[in-house]
Amino acid sequence: MDCGDGVTSALFRTVCGRFATGVAVATTCDAKGGRWGLTVNSFSSVSLDPPLVLFSIDRNASSHGVFVGSPRFAVNILAEDQQALSDRFSFVKDDDRFNGIALEAGESDRPPLLSGALGHLICDLENTFPGGDHTILLGRVRHTAVSNDPSARPLLYFSGGYATIS
């Protein structure tokens, strides 16, 4: 596919892949209390005042409608030892993603928080914006938590594979 001016989708993906990113799992609940989640590397902070973050989701993702229709979502920032969780929320079918994984205890009406994550942000969905083949979700951060482990390191994604800080 040519994106214009000789920019192909493959080349665009390769160039953007050279930008190392953290890995996060966005989670939410549907109207019936069902848990949904997906791995994202498009997570970014937007503003400190008010505290805003964003991530984008493919419009064809099975969880797209749930995320854009839910009033709240959480972002779980993964630690370097959580590659299996990243893979699980990328490749395992939606119904099985939460089976057998440890979650933080808390209120039943909040989005699921993954145990062992470096940090959690619970957000109210502030707005959505079209972004080509994705939808950009803007969230206002209402609650945060951070790991107390000073040796904890982030899981990174670079050039099509996982990476860590050495």
Query: What pLDDT, on a 0 to 100 scale, did the predictor assign at position 1?
Result: 53
Residue 99 vs residues 28, 37, 111, 128, 140: alpha-carbon distances, Å: 15, 12, 15, 29, 28
pLDDT tens digit sequence for 17-28: 899 999 999 999
Task: Examine residue 13 and state whether it is found in any structural domain, yes or no.
Answer: no
State the CATH number of the domain containing residue 42: 2.30.110.10
* pTM for the predicted model, two decimal places: 0.92
Residue range of the domain that includes 94: 22-147
Would you say residue 56 lies in a domain?
Answer: yes
- Count the domains in the chain: 1
Task: Identify whether 165 is part of a domain.
Answer: no
The pLDDT score that the predictor gives to residue 6 is 76
* pLDDT digits 0-9 by tens, 31-47: 999 999 999 999 999 99
pLDDT at 2 over 60: no
Closest CA to 56 of 70, 40, 69: 40
Facing residues of 56 across strands?
136
98 in any annotated domain: yes
User: Over the stretch 85-144, which tens digit does the pLDDT of each residue have?
Assistant: 999 999 998 888 999 999 998 777 789 999 999 999 999 999 999 999 999 999 999 999
Is 131 a member of any domain?
Answer: yes
Distances (CA, A) of 105 to 26, 46, 76, 102: 17, 28, 14, 9
> Pick the residue with more confidence: 6 or 163?
163
Q: What is the pLDDT of residue 4?
A: 64
141 found inside a domain: yes
Query: Is position 130 within any domain?
Result: yes
Confidence (pLDDT) at 9: 87
Average pLDDT rounded to a whole number, residues 58-82: 97
